[in-house]
Amino acid sequence: MAGKSLIYKILESHLVEGRLVVGEDIAVAIDQTLTQDATGTMAYLEFESLGLDTVKTLSVSYVDHNTLQDGFENADDHKYLQDVASKYGIYYSKAGNGICHQVHLERFARPGQTLVGADSHTPTAGGLGMFAVGVGGMDVAASMAGKPFHLTCPKVTNIKLNGRLQPWCAAKDIVLKVLSILTTKGNVGTAIEYTGEGVVSLTVPERATITNMGAEMGITTSIFPSDAKTKEFLRAQGREDVWVELQADKDAQYDEVIEIDLNALVPMIACPHSPDNVKTVAELKDVAVDQVLVGSCTNSSYRDLMIVATMLKGRKIHPDVSFGVAPGSKQALAMITKNGALADIIASGARLFESACGFCVGCGQAPRTKSISLRTNNRNYEGRSGTKDALVHLVSVETAVASALTGTITDPREIGIEVPTIELPEVYEIDDSLIVAPKCDVNQSILRGPNIGEPPSNSALPETISAKVAIKVEDKITTDHIMPAGPYLKFRSNVPKYSQYVFSPVKADFAEQCKENVEHGYYNVIVARESYGQGSSREHAALCPMYLGVKAVIAKSIERIHMDNLVNFGILPLLFENDADYESIQEGDELFYHCDDASFAAGVFTVENKTKSTIYTLRTPLNERQLEIVRAGGKLNFLRNGGQ
């Protein structure tokens, strides 16, 4: 019998239902959950409505997204999150403690365990040998309630890293290279396992940079083995006791193998407006830059900050560049403060931002009109920075700092300074005082400020649907297009308010149009092409459309997390079988279809376009269980009706 991949070993040890056969529905037991504040309030409202006394998992609630607090809303949310955590047995990581994925890696992640997180970059913990998956808040709520987590058994792609990174080349360059091969679409149902001699030389924070950006590929997760480097990292974090050695069998069978020669890898850059629009840095040489930012859950570890400090020591940022650094965690910030590295960063002319998501999610630091912004984060979708026509590029820390020094896009190998060699500390500074331990106090009162709404409710799917096409969009529509973050993030706990901004970057009057259709007795349908719902795990990109009366998304393909979110909120995903159907359908068309037993049993829906007098035969990609959830009007109803 062929050997097993590491991913299948972990799945096997957690399997509750189903068989480990690619494409089959499986259910696994979940050990840990995480949420952040922007997805957390809704996840905990959903959890509360399940009526349990305590969570069944090791769960952590982070505050890292909405830390600007321009208005009472964010602080209301934080207080609600802290009260809920205290009551139900959840660790609460306060604002200032750092970005969820960075802190989770440092303080909670465990090799061999399973983690679901209400954030698409949850697979960051795969850098430490964990099976970690990004999901919507509703799925986290179900996991906290002890329900097994359902997923499609992934096919496993082995990425073999041969050779060794050359000076000035970084883990970020590896993952940008992978993105150039796999792109941001067409990877649903795939998981990646990194192996090869190149793995051995990568530290845990470097591995985490790589697993982090699996989210941009739309894969289920990625993982590195748990080896001597993992043990070293956990020991330095005072957590050696949770280390176990884990790797694939020597003769493990993979569905696909991709080899990357690290010896030949050069600094890479993702150009606007997609993380897979990758070129070599050399190709963009000498383009003037306006803004350079280091931070986000991709590149903000102690190691990353030490690279910044070492490169900047005794040098000045170019006068035409605004350069800023957001440390990923309080731990990393405290350590560079103590060892003097922060002083070198500040002396160079850098701006220091809070240990939080900040600029990465469009909360502050919007660049100037038509500017070139170089960032170490993971997403450069159009407008996400807060400036629609800004040209955001994604690079390694080394390329970012080299460019901040010269004022132009610069291959760090060209700047003639010594290559920084960063030794990871033998002991990290451990101070968990911003992590409030759970009390599990049933008498804990929960303060709900005016920003905290009700958990969403929906009724069962009607037997017949008369709907209008409320919007028709193109390929690669991200959740940032559907439900923008930035200035609207603070309305995450207030669905009626947040719903006003659905599709606002694409079609300003979308919400109005939907309301008008509903007033005239129609539901709404969204029409899209390839890879609909790329990017984040935000369930609001399904929840708010649900609130506006959307009953179906018809597309050529839909990304995994978003598809699950649609299901969780009772929206039926339907797939076009041919381009002609997509071409013929228009905004405003009137559609009619039956949601009867026969359609659900066959998984095929006959949709009549009354405006065009055409019939479309559309297939749903959902399995039986998912269809049941949609029919119930979403997962909350399904679970309350006794579904598992």
Query: What residues are annotated to the active site?
Result: 64-65, 119, 379, 536, 538
521-534 as b/e, with b when 16 or more CB fall inside 10 Å?
ebbbbbbbbbbbbb
Give dist(CA 118, CA 489) in Å, integer.
15
Residue 209 engages ligand MIC in binding (rule: CB under 6 A): no
Over the window 25 to 64, marking each residue x when it contacts ligand SF4 by CB under 6 A and - when it does not, the resulting string is ----------------------------------------
Rule CB under 6 A: say whether 305 interacts with ligand MIC: no
Stretch that binds ligand MIC, among 190-198, 325-333, 532-540, 624-632 (CB under 6 A): 532-540
Is 38 a binder of ligand MIC (CB under 6 A)?
A: yes
Does 74 help bind ligand MIC (rule: CB under 6 A)?
Answer: no
Neighbours of 550 (CB within 10 A): 26
Reported residue count of the chain is 644
Signed CA dihedral, 306, 259, 284, 291: sign only: negative
| Partner that binds at residue 39, options ligand MIC, ligand SF4, none, CB closer than 5 to 8 Å by kind | ligand MIC
SS3 110: coil
- Measured distance CA(380)–CA(279) in Å, rounded: 14
Choice from 59, 93, 120, 187 touching ligand MIC (CB under 6 A): 120
Query: CB of residue 437 vs ligand SF4: minimum separation in angstroms?
Result: 23
Number of residues that bind ligand MIC (CB under 6 A): 13
Please work out the total of residues on this chain that contact ligand SF4, with binding judged by CB under 6 A: 11
Task: Give the Cα separation of 133 and 230 in Å (integer).
Answer: 20
Considering the rule CB under 6 A, would residue 234 count as an interface residue with ligand SF4?
A: no
Rule CB under 6 A: is residue 43 a binding residue for ligand MIC?
A: no
State which of positions 548-587 bind ligand MIC (CB under 6 A).
Answer: none
296 binding partner (options ligand MIC, ligand SF4, none; Cβ < 5 to 8 Å by kind)? ligand SF4
Whole-Å CA distances, 317 to 168, 397, 404, 409: 19, 14, 6, 13
What amino acid occupies position 32? Q
Residues 130, 141, 345, 485: which binds ligand MIC (CB under 6 A)? Answer: 485
- Tokens for 248? 């694939």
Tell me which residues in 361-380 interact with ligand MIC (CB under 6 A): 361
Residue 513, interface with ligand MIC (CB under 6 A)?
no
CB 9 within 8 A of CB 136: no
Q: Is 392 in the site for ligand SF4 (CB under 6 A)?
A: no
Q: How many CA atoms lie within 13 A of 573 on its CB side?
A: 28
**Pairing mode, if any, of strands 256-261 and 155-162?**
parallel
Stretch that binds ligand SF4, among 250-258, 357-365, 496-504, 513-521 (CB under 6 A): 357-365
| Per-residue interface string for the shown chain with ligand SF4, residues 303-342, x marking contact by CB under 6 A | ----------------------------------------
User: In angstroms, what is the minimal distance from the CB of 134 to ligand MIC?
Assistant: 6
Q: State which of positions 65-84 bind ligand SF4 (CB under 6 A).
A: 65
- Within 10 angstroms of residue 558's Cβ, the number of other Cβ atoms is 24
Between 195 and 298, whose beta carbon lies closer to ligand MIC? 298
CA-closest candidate to residue 246, choices 256, 261, 231, 234 = 231
What would the 3-class secondary structure string for 381-436 be?
A: CCCCCCCCCCEEEECCHHHHHHHHHHCECCCHHHCCCCCCCCCCCCCCCCCCCCEE
Tell me which of 55, 335, 361, 632 binds ligand SF4, using CB under 6 A.
361
Residue 297 near ligand SF4 by CB under 6 A = yes
By CB under 6 A, tell whether 121 contacts ligand SF4. yes
By CB under 6 A, residue 274 contacts ligand MIC: no
The residue from 185, 538, 560, 635 that contacts ligand MIC (CB under 6 A) is: 538
CB nearer to ligand SF4: give 99 or 321. 99
501 CA to centre of own chain:
21
Q: Are 363 and 331 in contact (CB under 8 A)?
A: no
Alpha helices in 455-538 (DSSP H): 479-482, 495-498, 510-519
Shortest CB 65 distance to ligand SF4, Å:
6
Tokens 């193998």 correspond to 257
Q: Which one of ligand MIC, ligand SF4, none interacts with residue 99, CB within 5 to 8 A by kind?
A: ligand SF4
Cβ(168)–Cβ(311) under 8 Å?
A: no
Taking the C-alpha atoms of residue 406 and residue 113, their distance in angstroms, rounded to an integer, is 44
Task: Give the separation between CA 360 and CA 65, rounded to whole angstroms.
Answer: 9
Q: Which two tokens stand for residue 496?
A: 């009626």
Looking at 226, 536, 557, 626, which residue binds ligand MIC (CB under 6 A)?
536
From 354-362, 364-372, 562-570, 573-581, span contacting ligand SF4 (CB under 6 A): 354-362
Binding partner of 38, given ligand MIC, ligand SF4, none, CB within 5-8 angstroms per partner class? ligand MIC
Closer of 60 and 636 to ligand SF4 (Cβ): 60
**Chain contacts with ligand SF4 (rule: CB under 6 A):** 65, 99, 119, 121, 296-297, 357, 360-361, 377-378
**Chain contacts with ligand MIC (rule: CB under 6 A):** 38-39, 65, 119-121, 134, 361, 485, 535-538
